[in-house]
Amino acid sequence: MPHYGDYQNAIYGAGLAGVLPTVPVDFATLEQRAAAALPASVLNYVQGGCGDEFTQRNNAEAFHHWGMTPRMMVDTTSRDLSIDLFGLRLPTPLFMAPIGVTGLCTQDGHGDLAAARAAAQTGVPLTISTLQNDPLEAVAQQLGNTPGFFQLYTPKNKDLAESLVHRAEAAGYKAIVVTLDTWVTGWRPRDLNSGNFPQLRGHVLENYFSDPVFQSLLAKPPAEDKQAAVLQWMGVFGKVLTWDDMAWLRSITRLPMVLKGICHPDDARRAIDSGADGIYCSNHGGRQANGGIAAIDHLPGVVAAAGNAPVLFDSGIRSGSDVVKALALGARAVGVGRPYLYGLALNGADGAAHVLKSILAEADLMMAVNGWPTIADVRAAGAERIG
């Protein structure tokens, strides 16, 4: 039976023939190489975070103060990484987090399509952002048999919100992820110092430009007057959501709904009570607020409050061992963010797929070595604070 860890044999085997991985397998080298490859404006936007970026660094660093104890004399020759999520049986607990500038990370400007092809290659679901260079329908066509999720930045115009959600349903996306922490952009010094905000330059707005409700708000089609379309986008972006909006949000889709950006146990409880099907514990990778606490340190409290509802997690995942620790702390599914963007930047769909396969290989090998043949065993093992 093949295992994700077999990827290392493929790499060592190729090495015998003098063929080295095109894209590095570790995050530090990956980031270094991507930094050299990406245009400065895109790199600032992708790599940068809020304030002095402490939260962003801490998200990744904090995994080092969680540890797990190996068990021996367990037969782990056969491993199963599969999970159930929203009625789907997924081969692994990994998914790609929504990233608004995925489109800009490949040289052809179609990084969203490349990310979907990476999902198709690996079976790792892609969460597409509302902010894309290619419309959600075109991206869905590249997903093959791998499920996709649609992340909604809820517009102020409710008809537009409903239209986006209904298009996502019609295109076959399997869940709606409503992001709560981004009705306004956080203070991002790298982007401010370079005076660059991609959306204002007309990038990544194709889901809006292709939408009939959005088009009805314009005097001329976006292709004829892009500036007016961008101005209209500025006008509709960023509805401030409160718990009072949950009944409406719930009413516009029958798909499972996940609330992204939840870090407080009370918010997790309230989300489930208000009809959410899942919680997405995340601090947006430290891009939105520099509050200091790493997302992984919020996870145990959120998991305890969520009861039986699935908790998705991201922010700071850089390796397979990070994934395993997040699972041990109760995440049902774990989101990879910046690492897959760097893979896209270096080698398109294959690069992103390589990053995902490397993370999965390390996670699988950690389970093999440490005596945890299934995700249930990882969860039972738990993780403890070591610092």
Ligand X SMILES: Cc1cc2nc3c(=O)[nH]c(=O)nc-3n(C[C@H](O)[C@H](O)[C@H](O)COP(=O)(O)O)c2cc1C
* Residues contributing to the site for ligand X (CB under 6 A): 45-46, 59, 97-101, 129, 131, 151, 179, 260, 282, 284-285, 287, 314-317, 337-338
Q: Where are the alpha helices (DSSP H) in 311-382?
A: 320-328, 338-370, 375-381
Q: Among candidates 55, 59, 285, 262, which has minimal Cα distance to 179? A: 262
Residues in the chain: 387
Rounded distance, CA 296 to CA 98, Å? 18
Rounded distance, CA 110 to CA 177, Å? 22
Q: Where are the alpha helices (DSSP H) in the chain?
A: 7-16, 27-37, 40-47, 54-61, 111-122, 136-140, 158-170, 189-193, 206-209, 212-216, 226-236, 246-251, 265-273, 295-306, 320-328, 338-370, 375-381
- Pick the closer one to ligand X by CB: 44 or 146: 44
Minimum distance from CB of 166 to ligand X (Å)? 19
Q: What is the set of active-site residues?
A: 284
- Pick the closer one to ligand X by CB: 260 or 354: 260
Minimum distance from CB of 191 to ligand X (Å)? 10
Neighbours of 107 (CB within 10 A): 12
Concatenate the DSSP letters of all residues of 48-111 into one string: --STTSHHHHHHHHGGGGEE-----S---SS-B--EEETTEEESSSEEEPP-TTGGGGSTTS-H
- Pick the closer one to ligand X by CB: 81 or 101: 101
- Pick the closer one to ligand X by CB: 204 or 381: 204
Minimum distance from CB of 158 to ligand X (Å)? 20
Name the residue with tokens 């649609």.
150
Can you say how many angstroms the Cα of residue 337 is from the centroid of all Cα atoms in its chain?
5
- Pick the closer one to ligand X by CB: 167 or 338: 338
Please state at what angle helix 338-370 crosses helix 7-16, rounded to 10 degrees. Answer: 100
Q: Among candidates 336, 381, 382, which has minimal Cα distance to 76? A: 381
Minimum distance from CB of 151 to ligand X (Å)? 5
Cβ-count burial of 271 within 10 angstroms (0-12 exposed, 13-18 middle, 19+ buried)?
buried
Q: Is 176 helix (H, G, I), strand (E, B) or coil?
A: strand
Minimum distance from CB of 8 to ligand X (Å)? 23
- Pick the closer one to ligand X by CB: 199 or 215: 199
Cβ-count burial of 234 within 10 angstroms (0-12 exposed, 13-18 middle, 19+ buried)?
exposed
Rounded distance, CA 295 to CA 60, Å? 9
- Pick the closer one to ligand X by CB: 258 or 368: 258
Minimum distance from CB of 376 to ligand X (Å)? 25
Minimum distance from CB of 194 to ligand X (Å)? 14
- Pick the closer one to ligand X by CB: 4 or 150: 150
Minimum distance from CB of 144 to ligand X (Å)? 22
